[in-house]
Amino acid sequence: MNDPAPQITVPVSVRRVLPDLLAAVAAVAGERLVGVWLYGSAATGTFDRGVSDIDVLIGVEGELDLDAGALAAAHARVLRAHPGFNDRLDVTWAPAAALAGGLLQPLFAVSPGEPLHTVRVTPAWALTRALVRETGLTLQGRPAREALAPVGGQELRRALVDSVAGLRNRAPQVRHRGGHAYVALTACRTLRTLTTGELVDKGEAARWTAERWPRMRPLLESALVWRRTQAVRDETPLPEELAALMRELLDLTAAAALPE
């Protein structure tokens, strides 16, 4: 890794995967590689063993016209070598124009439980760029702060507003505790950033939300437990007390997203 922050120790389980992933990336991207960046919980010291995803962004020069078959096969080899991450590897391939903030270029993605597929760039892409640029670790290639364009305040706000809409649409469809944890903790991070402009991990955002709105503590304390134990797929209905708090949390987040 080129420039890891010294205070962050990448989890051992993640370090075992990265050499194979980097080798697969190099085999497909070759000299067109701009950089490979680790972000999310594995890069911020909040990784939960056996639960958290490995989040990686890969940038390439020019158009994203790589051999999709070769790329899919490379990712499949990585997952066969590390089956424990079969549904916890989240990799995005982006062309240089998308790294610069363009919204017209499609991306390649390997999402948890999903094979390689093409995704459309939406305003929420700005949030990923901001997270990588501000909190990511460079595994190979150019440092994130050089390779990714800065994300302006209004651009980030549009991304967060888009995220709020997605959460409100997703929440009624969630049937298990891991999904409930995702909605609650993502809402906290969105609320924190909308309110303060700061990008923090979901755990810190949940603590901040609980301090500011103490009545949310039962939901947020439960969400942190659900996140660590989501391998146990509990699909019993959410108790009404917690369901009401979830609705209130989403309302708070939506209110923070209103035009200033």
pLDDT at position 260 is 67
Are the CB atoms for 145 and 129 separated by under 8 Å?
A: no
Distance CA 13, CA 244 (A): 37
Q: Is the torsion defined by CA of 65, 101, 60, 122 positive or negative?
A: negative
pTM, two decimal places: 0.87
Q: Along the 260 residues of the chain, how does pLDDT read in single tens digits?
A: 444 444 568 999 999 999 999 999 999 999 999 999 999 999 988 888 888 899 999 999 998 888 889 999 999 999 999 999 988 999 999 999 999 988 777 899 988 778 888 988 888 899 999 999 999 999 999 999 999 999 999 999 999 999 899 899 989 998 888 889 999 999 999 999 999 999 988 989 999 999 999 999 999 999 999 888 865 567 888 999 999 999 999 999 999 998 86
Distance CA 241, CA 168 (A): 18
Q: At 110, give phi and psi (nearest 5°).
A: -120, 105
Instruction: Measure Cα distances from 195 to 72, 123, 215 in Å.
Output: 40, 19, 18
Q: At 124, give phi and psi (nearest 5°).
A: -65, -15
Are the CB atoms for 119 and 110 separated by under 8 Å?
A: no
pLDDT at position 230 is 65
Residue among 61, 125, 55, 65 nearest 90 (CA): 55
Give strand pairing partners of 119.
107
pLDDT at position 106 is 86
Distance CA 52, CA 112 (A): 11
pLDDT at position 4 is 42
pLDDT at position 121 is 86
Distance CA 86, CA 169 (A): 27
